């Protein structure tokens, strides 16, 4: 695995923070309700939970933006919310985190996507989803594309985060990628099944193993399978690189000209993998904007994912922790090489 000298790492970070990254995708609110189970309901065999704490957080593509904030970056977030209480709360959270709402369209006839997790006695009891997954209208698609056109000169990269909630649709994908390609902007994609093969000609395509297996109708059991799948995606999508995340097994970077790099996970103790994919694509894109090579960017993303997996719940990566982790790894690698 690549290690970074401090000066080299600081140069990447400094350059990345001078850039602007646009994050587009399905915006969500993650709501958490914590409490204690007091008894079983007399109305049905279900627990009664006395809620003692409630919290709302950025979810979906907004969590990618939140990870960029954790890295000291101020992204432009583009997507839709509803003209409802959670939509208003979402925009309030954006303001509190220093984000402009220039890229947000509030729709009167579509609810803000909310995922409510109910936790009783420190156990996940239930999840309640409020959402509409029908594709947005052509009129809304055109309004979103106008936002891209108005900001394209100011951004260095575009992250597309798809959760199959009806906002990332083929018409928009094709026009966004074409515009970004003509303007020589980086495009990184975290796909889902519905639009999996729409993301042609992007910079980095980042599915996980399960998504890759489903899309290609193949089993991925070992490293040769990963390489075969990655090369097939390179051919089908004409992208510069495929990054397949493999959970506890780490990541695999498949590039053209048979350049294959496997990196093992850096989590010392996995507590929760929730949100790790958001952290990966945010850190990867951030590093590329900072002038990192593809392998350097993947290394940074891998360390970042390892850090968030050590935390419980969906939490963003923090720049100081990532910096310290990378520098400490370089020091230990250097000591190891010197002792040989």
Q: Tell me, what's the pLDDT at 228? A: 97
Residue 270 has pLDDT above 50, yes or no: no
pLDDT attached to residue 329:
79
How far is Cα 238 from Cα 56, in angstroms, rounded to an integer? 39
The pLDDT assigned to 310 comes to 63
* 219-237 mean pLDDT: 97
Beta bridge partners of 136: none
Alpha helices in 153-309 (DSSP H): 170-182, 209-216, 223-237, 276-289, 294-309
Residue 313 pLDDT grade (very low, low, confident, very high; cuts 50, 70, 90): low
Report the distance separating Cα 128 and Cα 116, nearest Å. Answer: 5
- Which residues make beta-bridge pairs with 237? none
How many CA atoms does the CB half-sphere of 84 hold within 13 Å? 16
Residues recognised as catalytic: 278
In this predicted structure, the answer to whether residue 38 has a pLDDT above a threshold of 90 is: no
Q: Show me where the domains of the chain are located.
A: 6-27+72-80+133-333
CB atoms inside a 10 Å sphere around CB 25: 26
The per-residue pLDDT for 308 is: 80
Which of 32-36, 151-155, 257-261, 304-308 tops mean pLDDT? 151-155
What pLDDT, on the 0 to 100 scale, is given for residue 65? 97
Q: Hey, which residues does 227 pair with through a beta bridge?
A: none
Higher-scoring residue by pLDDT: 305, 149: 149
- 97 Cβ contact list (under 8 Å, min separation 6): 66, 69
pLDDT interval class at 316 (50, 70, 90): confident
Q: Please write the tens of the pLDDT for every residue from 240-253.
A: 999 999 988 889 99
Mind listing the pLDDT tens digit for each residue in 273-297? 456 889 999 999 999 999 999 999 9
Mean pLDDT of 113-118: 94
Q: Where are the alpha helices (DSSP H) in 41-162?
A: 61-70, 85-96, 138-151
Q: What is the CATH number of domain 6-27+72-80+133-333?
A: 3.40.1190.20
Task: Please state, in angstroms and rounded to a whole number, the distance separating the CA atoms of residues 16 and 146.
Answer: 25
| CA atoms of 275 and 184, how far apart (whole Å) | 29
Going by pLDDT thresholds of 50, 70 and 90, the confidence category of residue 272 is: very low
Report the alpha-carbon distance of residue 322 to residue 300 in Å, rounded.
Answer: 8
Q: What is the model's pTM?
A: 0.92
156 close to 4: Cβ distance less than 8 angstroms: no
What would the pLDDT profile of 137-174 be if each residue is shown by its tens digit? 999 999 999 999 999 999 999 999 999 999 999 999 99
């Amino acid at each position: 695995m690549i290690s970074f000298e401090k000066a080299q790492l600081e140069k990447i970070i400094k350059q990345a923070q001078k850039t602007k990254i646009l994050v587009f995708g399905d915006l969500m609110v993650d709501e958490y309700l914590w409490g204690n189970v007091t008894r079983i309901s007399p109305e049905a065999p279900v627990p009664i939970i006395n809620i003692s704490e409630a919290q709302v957080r950025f979810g979906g593509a907004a969590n990618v933006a939140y990870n960029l904030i954790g890295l000291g970056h101020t992204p432009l977030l583009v997507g839709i919310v509803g003209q409802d209480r959670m939509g208003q709360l979402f925009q309030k959270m954006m303001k509190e985190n220093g984000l402009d709402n220039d890229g947000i369209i509030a729709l009167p006839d579509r609810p803000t996507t909310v995922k409510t997790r109910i936790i009783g006695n420190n156990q996940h009891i239930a999840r309640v989803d409020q959402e509409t997954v029908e594709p947005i209208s052509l009129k809304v698609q055109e309004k979103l594309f106008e936002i891209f056109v108005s900001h394209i000169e100011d951004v260095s990269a575009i992250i597309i985060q798809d959760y199959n909630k009806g906002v990332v649709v083929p018409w928009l994908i094709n026009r966004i990628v074409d515009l970004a390609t003509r303007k020589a902007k980086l495009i990184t994609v975290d796909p889902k099944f519905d639009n999996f093969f729409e993301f042609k000609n992007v910079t980095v395509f980042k599915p996980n193993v399960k998504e890759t297996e489903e899309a290609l109708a193949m089993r991925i059991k070992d490293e040769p399978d990963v390489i075969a799948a990655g090369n097939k995606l390179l051919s089908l999508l004409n992208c510069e690189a495929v990054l397949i995340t493999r959970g506890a097994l780490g990541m695999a970077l498949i590039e053209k000209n048979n350049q294959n790099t496997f990196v093992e996970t850096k989590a010392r103790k996995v507590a929760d993998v929730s949100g790790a994919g958001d952290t990966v694509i945010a850190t990867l894109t951030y590093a590329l904007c900072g002038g990192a090579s593809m392998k350097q960017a993947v290394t940074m993303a891998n360390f970042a994912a390892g850090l968030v997996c050590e935390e419980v719940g969906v939490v963003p990566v923090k720049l100081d922790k990532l910096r310290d982790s990378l520098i400490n790894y370089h020091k230990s690698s250097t000591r190891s090489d010197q002792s040989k």
